[in-house]
Amino acid sequence: MAPSTGRVPDREVVHNRLPLLRADRGLSRTALADELGIHYQTVGYIERGEYAPSLHLALRIAAFFDVPVEAIFALEPFERLNATALMAGS
Amino acid sequence: MMATPFTLFQRLPTLSRRARRIAILAAFGGYPLMQLGYLTLREPDRIPAVVWGPIAILLFSATLVGVVAIYGYAGRRMDRRRNLDERQVAMIDRAMVLSYGVLTAVIGVVLGVLALWLTFGGPVTIGMGDVTPFIIGAALYEPVLPFAALAWIEPDAPADDEA
């Protein structure tokens, strides 16, 4: 985990990789929302960074995709996927 | 298929933020403008009743249409809080805080103006005729204020379904 910089963000923005994971599983927003028991618009707002989910919901999303929560949510923007990262994952 | 009033009402929860804000401005602008227009134009007989009538109907209709649009957007959600998810509940809480903050500010301003008037302008006589528009305004707007706050602050909804 990255060490804290002590910087206070202007706005509570939580970056996420939810659209990537959702597309990877071929799930629509509605399908994912139904699995999680939330409104489909809430999935959209989370993806757009306009709503930061509670810790409970973030952990449930992580459990659903079977990945660590920090693989989906982060305080800093995720690095863009590039060939090196993809090759390292294969 | 032709849209009936019922199908239009069913579509209100999907209103864009821009449309919602126009509805809020219409709702909260129409009635005060009607009262102001009556006091400044009709009562001193600056414009004839035949001209003022349609204007008053138009302004009051704007208020009614706006209130219905606001209630149609947010009302059903706020009435069924138990079935909402955490984001929807959080939005309603924010709307409540905003609406009662605004209400407190309005009451504070009205009392402040009244206090200044009494201090520097001397005693005032307030009759039922002076108070009635404010009572109607309060009865009209106070219940719809949290709904309006929610309709004002909520961003545009994401697309229904995207793979």
Residues in chain A with CB shorter than 8 Å from the CB of B155 are 45, 50
From B87, B88, B162, residue closest to A29, measured CB to CB: B162
Q: Is the dihedral of CA B158, B19, B10, B69 positive or negative?
A: positive
- What is the least distance, in Å, from the CA of B15 to any CA of chain A? 14
| The predicted structure's pLDDT at residue A89 | 58
Taking 70 as the threshold, does the pLDDT of residue B89 lie above it? yes
Task: Record the pTM.
Answer: 0.79
**Contact across the interface for B85 and A45, Cβ inside 8 Å:** no
Which residue of B lies nearest to A54 if distances are taken between CA atoms?
B86
- The 10s digit of each residue's pLDDT in B20-51 is 999 999 999 999 999 999 999 998 989 999 99
DSSP notation for B59-118: HHHHHHHHHHHHIIIIIHHHHTGGG--HHHHHHHHHHHHHHHHHHHHHHHHHHHHHHHHH
Q: A74 in helix, strand or coil?
A: strand
Inter-residue contact A50 to A7 (CB < 8 Å): no
CA distances from B66 to A80, B13, B63, B130, B158 (A): 45, 14, 5, 25, 23
| The predicted structure's pLDDT at residue B59 | 96
- The 10s digit of each residue's pLDDT in A30-47 is 999 999 999 999 999 999
Q: What is d(CA B148, CA B114) in angstroms, rounded to the nearest whole number? A: 27
Residues in chain A with CB shorter than 8 Å from the CB of B87 are 38-39, 42, 45-46, 51, 53
| The predicted structure's pLDDT at residue A10 | 53
Mean pLDDT over each residue of chain A, to the nearest integer = 85
